[in-house]
Amino acid sequence: MATEAAHGAEHGEGGLVFHPMDQFIVKPLFGDGPVGTFTVTNVTLWMALTVLCVIGLLVLSSSGRATVPGRMQSIAELAYGFIRKMVEDVAGKDALPYFPYIMTLFMFIVVSNFLGLLPLAFTTTSHIAVTAVMAVAVFVAVTVIGFVKHGAGFLGLFWISAAPLPLRPILALIEVISYFVRPVSHSIRLAGNMMAGHAVIKVFAAFTPLITISVGVGILVTPLSIVAISAIYALEVLVAFIQAYVFTILTCVYLKDALHPHH
């Protein structure tokens, strides 16, 4: 993230240069070739790091199998208990077979979000392609589960029998639209949140070298930018967890609709 200042100094002699979106560029890790489907890119690197962190957090930490857990094992147990309880409370006991899938999503998102907060990191979850794949996967899986479990009865999700009869077709239309909007909001919420925070930090970072250009304005703007970066960074730490939580709990809510379509 801090490279922005260097970048500005390099390119714009005497002026501030804003490149808040450069941090999201996908580029090959080795060489300068084109980005093909199987090219090893910075996406690969940060996703691999995510995998390593997940292994460290959940596998290595629990390798002692201590009855009285240490710190790392406590984290693993807390994460396990947190998501398992969420699945059970939100989607019901019959959703527990899907717990490993939901845990996979949660661990990937939460670890990616936090890794993305490291300076110079590439935030995989800030990409709509990544979040959309997960959201669509959830959407398709939930729809398939709904139809497999309830057949045509799954359509009862859209036919609200509690409402007065004349209202039901209108409500059904709204329900169907909102159902199909789910993957869109589900994915854009996560990617948008991650991207926005990181971009804002970059914008403030671009303001910090102002004191080297104009001491008069810079003396005010530079400290303010640094304070703003710190404040937004703190907010982003919160957002990193909350967005992972929101994505996961929404997955559970959608799963609940598939398992229990009758309101």
Partner 1 sequence: MATETHQTASACLTPEGGAVGMPQLCPEWMGNQIFWLVVTLAVIFFILSRIALPRIAAILADRQGTITGDLARAEDLKAKAAEAEEAYNKALADARAEAQNIIAATKAEIKAELDEASAKADAEIAARAAEGEKKIAEIRASATESVKEVAEATALELVAVMGIDADAKTVGSAVEAGLKG
- Position 245 contacts partner 1 (CB under 8 A): no
Nearest to 114 by CA among 228, 226, 243, 247: 243
- The C-alpha atoms of residue 249 and residue 109 are separated, in whole angstroms, by 12
- Position 251 contacts partner 1 (CB under 8 A): no
Q: How far is the CB of 134 from partner 1 (least distance, A)?
A: 8
Q: Which of residues 82-101 bind partner 1 (CB under 8 A)?
A: 99-101
Q: Residues 255, 98: contact at Cβ < 8 Å?
A: yes
Sequence-separated (6 or more) residues with CB below 8 Å from residue 109? 125, 134, 190, 243, 244, 247, 248
Q: How far is the CB of 228 from partner 1 (least distance, A)?
A: 21
- Of residues 87, 110, 115, 134, which one binds partner 1 by CB under 8 A? 134
Q: Residues 79, 107: contact at Cβ < 8 Å?
A: yes
Size of the site for partner 1 (CB under 8 A): 62
Stretch touching partner 1 by CB under 8 A, among 62-70, 152-160, 227-235, 250-258: 62-70
Residue 28, strand partner residues? 41
Binding mask 31-60 for partner 1 (x = CB under 8 A): -xxxxxxxx-x-xx--xx-xx--xx--xx-
- Position 113 contacts partner 1 (CB under 8 A): no
Residues in the chain: 263
Binding mask 203-242 for partner 1 (x = CB under 8 A): ----------------------------------------
| DSSP sequence for 150-177 | HGGGGGGGTS-TTS-GGGHHHHHHHHHH
Count CA within 13 A, CB hemisphere, residue 250. 20
- Position 195 contacts partner 1 (CB under 8 A): yes
Q: How far is the CB of 81 from partner 1 (least distance, A)?
A: 8
- Of residues 87, 90, 95, 124, which one binds partner 1 by CB under 8 A? 124
Nearest to 61 by CA among 51, 74, 50: 74
Q: How far is the CB of 47 from partner 1 (least distance, A)?
A: 4
Q: Residues 107, 82: contact at Cβ < 8 Å?
A: no
* Residue where the block lists tokens 């959608």: 254
Q: Residues 49, 112: contact at Cβ < 8 Å?
A: no
Q: Which two tokens stand for residue 134?
A: 């997960």
Q: How far is the CB of 107 from partner 1 (least distance, A)?
A: 6
Q: Which residues bind partner 1 (CB under 8 A)?
A: 3-4, 6-7, 10-11, 19, 21-27, 32-39, 41, 43-44, 47-48, 50-51, 54-55, 58-59, 62, 65-67, 69, 73, 76-77, 80-81, 99-101, 103-105, 107-108, 120, 124, 126-130, 133-134, 191, 195
